[in-house]
Structure 1
Amino acid sequence: MAKLILIVGATGLQGGSVFKALYATGKYKNRALTRNPNSDVAKNLLKKYPGIELAKADADDTASLRQAFRGADIVFGMTQANMMAKEQDPTCDEEYEHGKAIIDSAISEGANSLVFSTLNSMNTNSGGKYPGVKHFESKCKAEQYLLSKSD
Structure 2
Amino acid sequence: MLELTTPKTVLVIGATGKQGGAVIENILASPQAHSFNIVAVTRNATGRKAQKLAAHPNVSVIEGNLANVDDIFNKAGPVWGIYSVQINSDVEEQQGKAMADAAVMHGAQHFVYSSGDRGGPERSPNNPTYVKNFAAKHAIEKHLQQRAEKSPQQMTYTILRPVTFFENLTTDLHGKGFARMWEQLGSKKLQMVSTKDIGWFAAQSFLQPDKYRNAALTLVGDELTQPEANVIYKEVTGQTMAMAACPIASAVKFVLKGSVGDMFKWFEDEGYGGNVQECRNANHNMQDFAAWLNENKGNFM
User: Which range, TM-score by smaller chain?
Assistant: 0.7 to 0.9
Deviation string for 1:118-139 (max 9, x for gaps)?
12447x66xx9x9442221111
Larger Rg over CA atoms: 2
Matched residues, percent identical? Answer: 25
Listed one character per residue, the Cα deviations across residues 33-68 of structure 1 (whole Å, up to 9, x for unaligned) are 112111221112123x23311122111013312314
Relative contact order (alpha carbons < 8 A, sep ≥ 6): 1 or 2 greater? 1
Paired with 2:73 and 2:57, the residues of 1 have a C-alpha distance of 24
Corresponding residue for residue 67 of structure 1: 74
Give distance in 2, aligned partners of 1:136 and 1:69. 29
Aligned-partner Cα distance in 1 for 2:37–2:57: 11
Query: Which residue matches 2:14?
Result: 9
Question: What TM-score do the two structures reach when normalised by structure 2?
Answer: 0.42
The alignment yields a C-alpha RMSD, in angstroms, of: 2.2
Q: Displacement, 1:69?
A: 4.4
The answer (yes or no) to whether the contact 2:39–2:76 under 8 Å persists in 1 is no
Q: Which runs of structure 1 show a deviation greater than 6 angstroms over 4 or more consecutive aligned residues?
A: none
- Secondary structure in structure 2 of the residue aligned to 1:116: strand
Gaps spanning 5+ residues in structure 2: where? Answer: 1-5, 150-301
Q: How does 1:28-47 map to 2 (within 5 A)?
A: 28-47=36-55
Alignment of 1:1-151 (within 5 A): 1-25=6-30, 26=33, 27-47=35-55, 49-82=56-89, 92=90, 94-121=91-118, 131-151=129-149
Structure 1's unaligned 5+ residue stretches are 83-91
Native 8 Å contact 1:121 1:137 kept in 2: no
Q: Amino acid of the residue matched to residue 25 of structure 2?
A: K
Does the Cα contact within 8 Å between 2:81 and 2:108 map onto a contact in 1?
yes
CA 1:120 to 1:137, structure 2 compared with 1: closer, same or farther past 3 Å? farther
AA at the equivalent of 2:112: V
Partners of 1:101 and 1:70 lie apart in 2 by 17
